[in-house]
Amino acid sequence: EAGVTQSPRYAVLQEGQAVSFWCDPISGHDTLYWYQQPRDQGPQLLVYFRDEAVIDNSQLPSDRFSAVRPKGTNSTLKIQSAKQGDTATYLCASSFPSSGNTLYFGEGSRLIVV
Amino acid sequence: QQKVQQSPESLIVPEGGMASLNCTSSDRNVDYFWWYRQHSGKSPKMLMSIFSNGEKEEGRFTVHLNKASLHTSLHIRDSQPSDSALYLCAASDDTNAYKVIFGKGTHLHVLP
């Protein structure tokens, strides 16, 4: 079974630039999460979806961050006008109720803003 | 949002020793706990889950849960250098089991 796929794996931006991260969850997983993980810290929840619906996006840091999952499968997280404080790894995870809500993570997208 | 606190921040144990990690939630509605392990440069992977009071053992790993105090602990016996990693505690509450919040983690270093 294919795991969660994320791209790109790395991105280096200047402040003010925009970036989009893409996630393909495990087939059949209805819940998809985006987390932000600063270096050597725990993942911080940004947003999560059930199918195509946003369930909770209250933790998105600002209106510079947006996320969509239009067909209930793949998802895109976009950061506009990036700041140095956005430097982190962005993790996508998916889950399915019968799995006891175990989260399966992708390898992450490492963002560096200079 | 609910808070998940982990201690200690960092732990050093000798190879073959016992590592004990702690996690507490400040949210009285929390009902479910997981432990994830994240090796350096890799993504987190679920190690164990515990939803009921008591103890659960899988090989060298044992988790305890006390729902009254909202405290869970992970114990690793006969620690190996390959156990060196960031251990993350995660929790969700019974009003929204799908909102999974992580603590800041405990860095475990097992010295050969």
Q: Which of A41, A43, A56 sits opposite B99 (nearest CB)?
A: A56
Q: Which residues pair with A93 in a beta bridge?
A: A33, A105
CA dihedral B82, B84, B85, B86 (to 10 degrees): 150
What are the pLDDT digits (tens) for B45-72?
A: 999 999 989 999 999 999 999 999 999 9
What are the pLDDT digits (tens) for A69-98?
A: 998 899 999 999 999 999 999 999 999 877
Residues 1-30 of A with CB under 8 A from B: none
**Pairing outcome for strands A65-68 and A53-56:** unpaired
Determine contact, residues B75/B58, Cβ cutoff 8 Å: no
Query: Which residues in B lie closer than 8 A to residue A91 (C-beta atoms)?
Result: 43-44
CA distance B21 to chain A (A): 15
Which of B40, B43, B48, B94 to mutate against chain A (most A CBs within 10 Å)?
A: B43
Q: How high is the mean pLDDT of chain A?
A: 94
3-state secondary structure of A32: strand
3-state secondary structure of B50: strand
Q: Which of B46, B98, B107 sits opposite A31 (nearest CB)?
A: B98
